[in-house]
Structure 1
Amino acid sequence: MFFRIISGTTLAILLALSPLSHAANSAPTVQEGDWVANEFTFNSGEKLNDLRIHYYTLGDRSKPAVLLLHGTNQPIKALLAPGFAGELFTPGAALDSSKYFIIIPESIGSGKSSKPSDGLRMNFPHYDYDDMVTAQYRLIKEGLGISHLRLVMGYSMGGMQTWLWGEKYPTMMDALVPMASQPNELSGRNWMMRRMLIESIKADPAWAQGNYQQQPPALKTANIMFSIATTGGTLNYQHKAPTRALADKLVDERLAAPVTADANDFIYIWGSSANYNALPALNRITAPMLIINSADDERNPVETGILSGELHKIKQAELFLIPASVETSGHGTMMSAKFYRDKLRAFLAATPQRQDKK
């Protein structure tokens, strides 16, 4: 088997994980590590030696395992913040880390996992969501030695990968929870904005075909434009910025923030969604599925009716749609787990757990 495990390090979650009274020394810690495949073959036919998948875990690995998948370009700390982890990982919560072994891998192209900015730049193999899921599966099976998952759950890109998990490995999990996602191919405004994000960076002379010395200026402006256009929620933005002055303040704050991303990494990871399409194989999904979306999701507009027209193809699936309000934030609503924590807990309680969890 072509793999090795690099010992993880431990870091304490600095933020209090619960809005309730919770002693600081009882907050769960995060184990951090790497799994490395000596050779990995991508769907493009390209190969990479020593593909590295960085991952984080919470809890005891003897407990039922939960795979949690992040969004595009989303830092893992967003999943450890009070609005998410504080609502889901604490004692008695849906994903209580004393009862589950929570695994959060960084996808190919993200964080400390292998990515173009490691050195290959635009010569890095072209990857897609299917490659990401394959690498996650190998991490779980080969790296961590886990044969079954209690739950696969993901947000945005991770939500789309959750659909693929249910199709590629239908008996691997007890339950599936894709969030802020749909199974259909990228289309409409969602894909058009992604294309413009990529093209804006490539059109910047400073990009220099990926051989830049400094991050091209278009990276910041294109990313801010994309974020405002596709995440935040119409009602929420109007509530935060009811005047031009307040709207300018929000923009100025984003423009003043430092650039922490890499242009080539951006091009690769946003482009990796180009061939995503889980629709043709929906009937392969056998695990019970709870689909969590928000009514104001800019990237997955509910008014298209795409999702509601496809649910009948899945053996057991329920859509939980969060109503739009000044408290929701469009595509980013799922980072406020208060909107669905009780529904998730009830769903898991009603979903049978296989005994051979490892």
Structure 2
Amino acid sequence: MSAAAAQPAAVDYLSLAKEGSHVVKNFAFAGGETLAELRINYATWGAPKRDQAGHITNAVLLCHGTTGSWQNFGSPWWSTRMYGPGQPLDTGKYFVIASDTIGSGKSSKPSDGLRMQFPRYTLTDVVKAQRALLTEKLDVRQLHAVIGISYGGRQAWQWSVQYPEFMRGVVPIVSSPFPNAGRRGMQDFLGIEPLLRDPTWNQGAYTDQPRNFPLAVMAYWMLLDGAGHLWDVAPTRERSFQYLPLLAKQITQNLDANDWIYQLRVNDGFDAYSQLERVKARVLVINMAGDEVVPIELGHIAKASAKLGPKAEYLLVREAAGYGHAAVVQTVDVYGPKLGEFLSKLPADKP
């Protein structure tokens, strides 16, 4: 038998996921608007375990990043390093839940038909809808932990202050509890403004995707990657002019411009830092040393850790720094063990 034949087949966690949806009736948004039916799509791995009172004790919520969906967490870069026996999110131990946020994946979003008349939603609404999914559909009354990456990390921060009693642990990855201001706010601005200035956007009432949509995505996306990786993939003048247009073409193939605008505006009003005194869960913050989206030189995590005190732990990953924000994909094997240790040490009762 060859060495290749002796290798166990890779597990396809996308096909193993149990996908479903939940409709929240008359959902009231923080801004005062309502939606008669708000659909939240989700997937699960593993099975719920209950205590003697019948309460689920092993649920972990995963929160995806901008333009993402639950499928990000079924992809091999994450799932094959997280869900197997003895791995950090061993699905024989944990009931793992990943939802499509409002405005993303198969959940309700502007491109369903309302376009720019879709209610304006914020992180407060996103987390409220996730809680409705957990309590109304999945019978989860408390989470073992909330884990999120990038925009998903902001969801995790928001969970910690909006529903502080609902989880025992919070793990924001490549994310800050501070507002998306400074250069990070400008990044959101650059992702939106080319569309608003584009006549073909037509206030959101377009037939074909607006002409400036790829430009808006390019302006936003460049800061997500690191200088080292961008040099590696575009080491010539010609290639540096080609790389971003090709990337934007790939990203916009399955993305709608109005959905994109809403996905960036969701950050409006976010400020978990000012409310950190509400946090009751234990917190593990994981960031990347070369990340220009959440730059360590701003000292935000040090300030947040000082507020949180002994309930907070911090891991700064220095490997793959040339990938910038995207190093989170390259370094699962580095931060995964710390994540697993953190989850295993969380108390079995309330925070």
Q: Tell me the TM-score normalized by structure 1.
A: 0.88
Counterpart CA distance in 2 for 1:47 and 1:345 is 39
One-letter amino acid of the structure 2 residue matched with residue 34 of structure 1: S
Equivalent positions of 1:1-358 (< 5 A) are 21-23=7-9, 29-62=16-49, 64-228=58-222, 230-251=223-244, 253-254=246-247, 256-257=249-250, 259-315=253-309, 316-323=311-318, 325=320, 329-336=323-330, 337-354=332-349
Percent pairwise identity:
37
Query: Which has the higher mean CA deviation after the structures are superposed, 53-62 or 306-315?
Result: 306-315
Distance in 2, matches of 1:191 and 1:54, equals 28
Listed one character per residue, the Cα deviations across residues 8-42 of structure 1 (whole Å, up to 9, x for unaligned) are: xxxxxxxxxxxx94445786710111110111000
Question: Is the contact made by 2:69 and 2:99 (CA closer than 8 Å) also made in structure 1?
Answer: no
Residue in structure 2 matched with residue 8 of structure 1 by the alignment: none
Contact 1:78-1:335 within 8 A present in 2 as well? no
Separation in 2, partners of 1:212, 1:182: 35
What is the number of residues matched between the two proteins?
335
CA distance in 2, matches of 1:25, 1:107: 26
Contact 2:288 2:317 in 1 (8 A): yes
Letter in 2 for 1:333: A
Is the alpha carbon distance of 1:51 and 1:334 closer, same or farther for their aligned partners in structure 2, counting shifts above 3 Å? same
Higher mean displacement: 133-142 or 315-324: 315-324
Q: 1:269-328, CA deviations, whole angstroms, 9 ceiling, x for partnerless residues?
A: 1011011001111011111110001111121111111221231211410111111536x5
The separation in 1 between residues aligned to 2:11 and 2:79, in whole angstroms, is 16
My pick for the range that moved more, 189-198 or 231-240, is 231-240
Alignment partners' CA distance in 1, 2:191 and 2:343: 38
Task: Output one character per residue of 1:27-58: Cα deviation in whole Å (capped at 9) or x when no partner.
Answer: 67101111101110001100000110000111
Q: Which runs of 5+ in 1 are unaligned?
A: 1-19
Q: Which runs of 4+ in 1 moved over 4 A?
A: 24-28
Match of 2:52 in 1: none
- Shift of the alpha carbon at 1:252? 5.0
Deviations 1:139-178 (A, max 9, x none): 1111111111111000111101111111122221121100
Would you say the 8 A contact 1:235–1:324 is kept in 2? Answer: no
Instruction: State the Cα RMSD in Å.
Output: 2.1
Letter in 1 for 2:336: R
User: The residue matched to 2:300 in structure 1 has which SS?
Assistant: coil
Unpaired segments ≥5 residues, structure 2: 1-5, 50-56
